[in-house]
Amino acid sequence: GRLSTKELLLEAERGSYAVGAFNVYNLEGVEAVVAAAEEENSPAILQIHPSALKEGGVPLIACCISAAEQASVPITVHFDHGNSKQELLEVLEMGFDSLMVDGSHLPFKDNVSYTKYISSLAHSKKMLVEAELGRLSGTEDDLTVADYEAKLTDINQAHEFIDATAIDALAVCIGNVHGKYPSSGPNLRLDLLKDLYGLCSKKGVHVVLHGASGLSKEIIEECIKLGVRKFNVNTEVRKAYMDALSSPNKKDLINVMASAKEAMKAVIAEKMRLFGSAGKA
Ligand code: 13P
Ligand code: G3H
Ligand code: ZN
Ligand code: NA
C-alpha cells in the first residue's frame, strides 16, 4: 500500500536500515520495483527523474501511484532532482509523496532560498522534502583534489541549511557520484558522513546517498552503519534493462519485455537485501 515517505524513512531510522529509491521510466520499471519489494517483503520508493517525467508524463506518475496503492508492501512515489522552480511548482500538484529540491547548482544563499520556498509549499501538502548540499560529480569529471574537496557537503553550511529550510532529508556529497565510479574505485569520505549524520540525527533529518550504483557491499554496509537511510539507484537497474533488451535470443515482444523486467527485478531485489530493507515491510 501507499505510505508516506516520512513514515518509511522514520521506520528505517528506527530499524537502522536503508530504503532503496529506484528510478523508473516505464511500466516495466515500476512493476520490477513492486515485484521485487513484494518478493523481498521490503518497502521501496519509486522515483521519477525530470527526464523520465518529460518522457512519461502524468501517465507515468499515475502508473506509480496505482502500483503503490495496490502493492502488498509499503511503496511511495518520489520526484527526483527538482532543479527548476517552474517544474517543481507543477510537480507539487501531481500527487507525489515526496520530492527532492535540487539547488546544488546554485550558490549557497540561492540554494537556501530556493529550497526554503519549495519546502514550505511541499510541507503544506504533507510531502517529505529532500534537498542537496554540495555538488555531486559526474563520472566523467577528472577532479583535482581541490575540486573534489570543494564539492563535498560542508558541515557548517549543513547546519545553517537545515535550520533555514526545514528540510526532512539531506542528500550528502561525500565523494559519491552518479553513474560509474572511476576504475580506482569510490573515494568516499566516511568521516564526513559520520559527522553529517551526527548533525542530521539531532535535527530529525534523514541522510540520503545518491549514486549508489557501483558501491560495493562493504561500502554500502558501512554507509548504513554511519546513518544513510535512503539510497538512490539508477544506473545498475537501467543497465540490466538495456542488456536484457539487446540480448538477441528472444524475438517475441512479450518475452523481451518479461525478461527485461526480470533482469531489473533481480538487481533491485539484491539491493533491497543489501540495504537491509528486505523483510522489513
Ligand atoms: P546511480 O545512477 O549512480 O545509481 O545514481 C542514482 C541517483 O542518484 C538518482 O538520483
Ligand atoms: O540522478 C540522476 C538521474 O537519475 C539521471 O541519471 O544521469 O544516468 O541519466 P543519468
Ligand atoms: Zn541523484
Ligand atoms: Na553511482
Ligand 2 site, residue 176, Cβ cutoff 6 A: no
Rounded distance, CA 131 to CA 268, Å? Answer: 24
Characterize 120-129 residue by residue with b for buried, 16 or more Cβ atoms within 10 angstroms of its Cβ, and e for exposed: ebbeeeebbb
Q: What is each CA distance from 213 to 54, 185, 209, in whole angstroms?
A: 23, 12, 10
In-domain check, residue 125: yes
Ligand 2 site, residue 179, Cβ cutoff 6 A: yes
Ligand 1 site, residue 209, Cβ cutoff 6 A: no
Q: What is each CA distance from 188 to 43, 166, 176, 194, in whole angstroms?
A: 26, 27, 6, 11
**For a pocket test of ligand 2, which of 49, 101, 141 has the largest count of ligand atoms closer than 8 A to its C-beta?**
49
In-domain check, residue 74: yes
Q: Which residues surround ligand 3, an ion (CB under 5 A)?
A: 210, 232
Q: The whole model's pTM is what? A: 0.95
Rounded distance, CA 247 to CA 253, Å? Answer: 12
Of the listed ranges 71-75, 85-89, 211-215, 244-248, the one predicted with least confidence? 244-248
- Could you tell me the distance, in angstroms and rounded to a whole number, from the CA of residue 233 to the centre of ligand 4? 8
Number of domains composing the chain: 1
In-domain check, residue 281: no
State yes or no: ipTM above 0.85. Answer: no
In-domain check, residue 94: yes
39 is written with which cell numbers? 518478493
DSSP string, 101-168: E--TTS-HHHHHHHHHHHHHHHHHTT-EEEEEES-PEETT----HHHHHHHSPPHHHHHHHHHHH--S
- Could you tell me the distance, in angstroms and rounded to a whole number, from the CA of residue 81 to the centre of ligand 3? 6
Domain span holding position 132: 5-275
Nearest alpha-carbon partner for 73 in 226, 268, 231, 223: 268
Q: Which tops the pLDDT comparison, 229 or 256?
A: 229
Q: What is the pLDDT of residues 135-193, one digit of tens each?
A: 887 655 567 777 777 799 999 999 999 999 999 999 999 999 999 998 889 999 999 99
In-domain check, residue 236: yes
Rounded distance, CA 158 to CA 221, Å? Answer: 24
Would you state the pLDDT for residue 141?
55
Of the listed ranges 109-118, 180-189, 204-213, 265-274, the one predicted with least confidence? 180-189
Report the residue count for the chain. 281
Atom of ligand 2 nearest to the CA of 238: 8
Whether residue 131 has pLDDT greater than 70: yes
Whether residue 269 has pLDDT greater than 90: yes
Whether residue 88 has pLDDT greater than 70: yes
Catalytic (active-site) positions: 80
In-domain check, residue 119: yes
Q: What is the dihedral angle through the alpha carbons of 245, 233, 118, 157, rounded to the nearest 10 degrees?
A: -150
Rounded mean pLDDT of the chain?
A: 95
- Could you tell me the distance, in angstroms and rounded to a whole number, from the CA of residue 236 to the centre of ligand 3? 13
Ligand 1 site, residue 82, Cβ cutoff 6 A: no
Would you state the pLDDT for residue 147?
78
- Could you tell me the distance, in angstroms and rounded to a whole number, from the CA of residue 59 to the centre of ligand 4? 28
Cβ neighbours of 187 (radius 10 Å): 13
CATH of the domain at 153: 3.20.20.70
In-domain check, residue 135: yes
Whether residue 250 has pLDDT greater than 70: no
Would you state the pLDDT for residue 267?
98
Of the listed ranges 194-198, 226-230, 242-246, the one predicted with least confidence? 242-246
Cite the DSSP H helix spans in 226-252. 235-245
Q: What is each CA distance from 24 to 30, 67, 219, 227, 231, in whole angstroms?
A: 6, 12, 24, 25, 14
Task: Compute the average pLDDT of residues 73-90.
Answer: 97
Say which residue the cell 529532500 belongs to: 130
Task: Compute the average pLDDT of residues 88-99.
Answer: 98
In-domain check, residue 280: no
Cα 16 off chain centre by: 17
Task: Compute the average pLDDT of residues 70-88.
Answer: 97
**Residue 92: helix, strand or coil by DSSP?**
coil
Rounded distance, CA 209 to CA 230, Å? Answer: 6
Would you state the pLDDT for residue 55?
96
